[in-house]
Amino acid sequence: MKFNIRLFLERLYSYPTLKFVIAAFLLSIIISVAFRFLFYSFGENDFTLSNPPTVANSSIYYAFIKLVLLTPIIETFLFQTIPYFFIAQFDFLKKRNWIVILISAIAFGMSHYYSLWYILHSGILGALFMYFYIVRRKMADSFLAISIIHTLRNLMAFTIEIFIN
């Protein structure tokens, strides 16, 4: 049986919320792993620009609330809801979703300025989140679905960091 990504993406919008969140989360993980593999195949030389927020810098409870619960909601509002609402005001841009996806991806990537790799990786995820947001607008759960996907990704990173440190 052959997996057809185009067919998967076309059907994604009609999935019930839970199935959509799980499928989108898993797709985002696959993309992250592929990007990490590609990045490290060119060498681990990354240009660090600043230190990302870590659990070690604050209490575990504060870090959990900030990084896992609040940040995904705030970032979904700033990088998906606001750009989509703004673009929806212009007929020319409404028909060109790729423009809002690109704008959102650049803004999301640049807000994660910890390293060159992180900016690129976050930009790709920002594009994916915006694509998912646009797809779910028809189902009226776009904010909730994207916030949950982002929360799950941050929870996974949070948990890994706790076990590593």
pTM of the model: 0.87
Segments forming the whole domain that contains residue 155: 5-164
Identify the bridge partners of residue 48 per DSSP, sorted by sequence position: 115
Q: Which amino acid is at 23?
A: A
* Tokens representing residue 79 in the block: 């990088």
- 43 against 5, higher pLDDT: 5
- Please tell me the total count of domains within the chain: 1
* Mean predicted confidence (pLDDT) in 133-149: 92
pLDDT of residue 52: 66
Cα distances from 22 to residues 17, 25, 51, in angstroms, run 9, 5, 30
Confidence band of 47 (pLDDT split at 50, 70, 90) = low
- At 2 the pLDDT is 64
